[in-house]
Amino acid sequence: MRKLVLTCIASGVGMMCGYAQTLFTYGPNSVSKDEFLRVYKKNSINKKPDMSDTALKSYLDLYALFRMKVAEADKQHLDTVASIDHELDSYRKQLAKNYLTDEQVTNKMIHEAYDRMKEDVHVAHILITCNPGSDTVAAFRKIDSIYHVIESKKADFEAMAKQFSDDKGSKDNGGDIGYFTALQTVYPFENMAYTTPVGKVSAPFRTQFGYHIIKVIDKKQDHGQVKVAQIKILVPKSKGAEGLAAGKARADSIETMLKNGASFEELVKQYSDDNFSKNEGGVMKTFGVGKYVLSFENAAFALKKPGDISEPVKTEEGYHIIKLIAKAPLPPYDTLYPSLKHKVENDSRAQTARDHFFARIKEKNGFKEYPENIAEISDKLLALPDSGKMGKSFRADNYKNMTKPVFTLANKNFTQADFVRFAEALTHGKLNGPRGAVVHDAYNMYVNNVVNDFEEHKLVEENPEFKNLMEEYRDGIMLFELMDRNVWSKAAKDSAGLKAFYETRKGKYTWETGFDGAVYKFKNKGTFDTGMMLLRGGNVTDEQMVKAINSQANPDGVTIQRGHYEFSRYKDATMAELQKDPIKVLSSSNGNYSVVVAKQIFSTPTEKTLDEARGYVVAEYQDYLEKQWNEKMRHEYPVKVNDKVFATMVSK
């Protein structure tokens, strides 16, 4: 009867249990056919894995050894090592980000983004910045008062933007930021632009930059993207009105030449100031709305047919003459889906999908808040003194007896003291900035952190893919730690073992015929001449040589390297030559000169000491230790393969 192992596979609707065929055992442990095939196919170099008897047996031998070592790491409880536990926790949090989101909401947002890309919105805005830790109330009151002045018709939007907006890039234009489309700005700003009617002013709203109000000037059907070439006449602002007039005259003369039949590409070479496109015939990268200033975009999109050329267009940089190369409509949804998905998952929309997901997790697991207990601990923190030695400071230990729950999740209470411990770690025990906002934000972050951590750990139970990835990573870092302890570090640190290993095979590690001595490298002919005079003059020390040649102005006039050298490395310095004259000038290159000075010549191979051969010895000792360890593992965890199950995998 075939040996079976019970496996439970988590599905979207619950747990489905079934029996999986055991392919092999190693000691008391077993591996199923399904697990082996999953790993084998995943690690196959080719799209179609080799299912031959030979390939499968070879991989089974490697995989069995891998499983033995992981089992040994488990036996030694390496997962309790602080560094491994921390690395696993970090990996789990990073990996979980891809799973802790509402896929249905994400897909809805991808569709929303694509639908919005069919329309371009022309917007002006007023921004009152609100930096993290600053007084948000004051910023809101300011934008709210501006909004009511505009709504009451006491001032127009453009004038208020010029006077009050903190957006330096648009305030001089009355807040006008031109046309844009979906995914070109933060999600809350985009939302307000697409939901506010043309001609209307939005109520104040918040983004990461501060508080805004926007006026929607126009909405129009998106015209896709254009590819154009340009001749750019740069007019520096420092030139003033005189510079503008000269630039306009230059642009007009180029336009006249074009009308008389001159080549656009040739005029680009002669006159364009755009260094990015000049060598490409003026051709720019394809773009849609929101990429360049409004006047440039309007002129580019107004061109009808490829080859059409605009009149000179004025921007803050100068004048541009634009030639249409091609127009392209918005690509189909399926074509854009991969890039849209990536953008949606990596902009502020992603937080919306996570918020939906967390709301569902809370509801599913009986999340309940206790406002009166939250208020009690908040009041305690808000009552901290503002000055003195401990002004605005708090310590979690002082609140450890506050054990009332602030919320419950999955029948577990999270107390006031738990929240303060989190807040202390978050703020380093110092409530800087608007205290009410800091405490409020810290509490929300605490709730999200608990819910996120709760669901991260549940993913292992409920999501097979996540579980497999976590187990693979866990096995990998535990095996790395075990290998380091038993092979890599051991080979480097086990001095006695390394010396004994060297003694058994020291005849392998030899120097070829060569010499002990020095190699001098001189920077130029002058330093070379001085050095040769010193070398030929007698026993000059390295210190005397460096002192005579090197100086602050010439710090690397000579460099000296001493050691044991093999003739095979210095083919221009043969044994016969050095036996006649121990000083040999090697061929010079790039004005540099190299000189070999032999103190002792070895005409036969000589053994290397352990220190001289250490790199080779350590590498071979590691191989030796690993082979020994592998044999030990195979002895302690004998492998038994179910040949009948194995045969069902083999195909030619």
Which pLDDT band, with edges at 50, 70 and 90, does 244 fall under? very high
pLDDT value at residue 233: 95
Percentage of the chain modeled with pLDDT above 70: 95
> In Å, what is the CA distance from 479 to each residue of 356, 368, 471, 483, 543?
38, 42, 12, 6, 50
Higher pLDDT, 103 or 336: 336
Distance CA 96, CA 361 (A): 14
pLDDT of residue 390: 60
pLDDT in tens, 432-479: 777 787 888 899 999 999 998 898 888 888 888 888 888 899 999 999
Largest CA distance in the chain: 105
Residue 2 has pLDDT above 50, yes or no: no
Q: What is the pLDDT of residue 17?
A: 42
What's the rounded mean pLDDT across residues 586-594? Answer: 78
pLDDT class for 235, splitting at 50, 70, 90? very high
Q: What distance in Å separates the CA atoms of residue 105 and residue 170, rounded to the nearest whole number?
A: 34
Average pLDDT over residues 321-326: 96
Handedness of CA 298, 301, 304, 308 (dihedral sign): positive
Q: How far apart are CA 29 and CA 19, in angstroms?
A: 16
- Whether the CB-CB separation of 394 and 388 falls below 8 Å is answered with no
Distance, CA of 64 to CA of 70 (rounded, Å): 10
**For the packed helices 464-483 and 435-462, what is the interaxial angle rounded to 10 degrees?**
90
**pLDDT value of residue 287:** 92
Determine the average pLDDT of the residues in 82-105. 83
Mean pLDDT value of segment 482-489: 88
- What's residue 391's pLDDT? 63
* Contact criterion met (CB below 8 Å) for 577 and 584: yes
Indicate the SS3 state at residue 532.
helix
Q: What are phi and psi of 387, to 5 degrees?
A: -130, 180
Tally Cβ neighbours within 10 Å of residue 328. Answer: 12
Sign of CA dihedral 188, 191, 193, 197: negative
Residues, the chain: 652
**Residue 230 bridge partners (DSSP):** 322
Q: Please tell me whether residue 576 adopts helix, strand or coil conformation.
A: helix
Helix ranges (DSSP H) in 538-636 = 542-549, 575-580, 614-636
- For residue range 15-61, what is the model confidence (pLDDT) as tens digits? 334 457 999 999 999 999 999 999 999 888 767 889 999 999 999 99
Nearest to 526 by CA among 590, 595, 592, 597: 592
* Residue 5 clears pLDDT 50, i.e. is over it: no
Burial of 546 (0-12, 13-18, 19+ CB in 10 A): middle
What is the arithmetic mean of pLDDT over 410-422?
A: 95
The reported pLDDT for the residue numbered 303 is 95
Chain segment 351-375, per-residue pLDDT in tens: 787 888 888 899 999 999 999 999 9
Vertex 514 angle, CA 513 and 517, to 5°: 160
pLDDT at 4 (0 to 100) = 28
Residue 284 confidence (pLDDT) above 80: yes
Query: Under a CB-based contact definition with an 8 Å cutoff, are residues 459 and 452 in contact?
Result: no
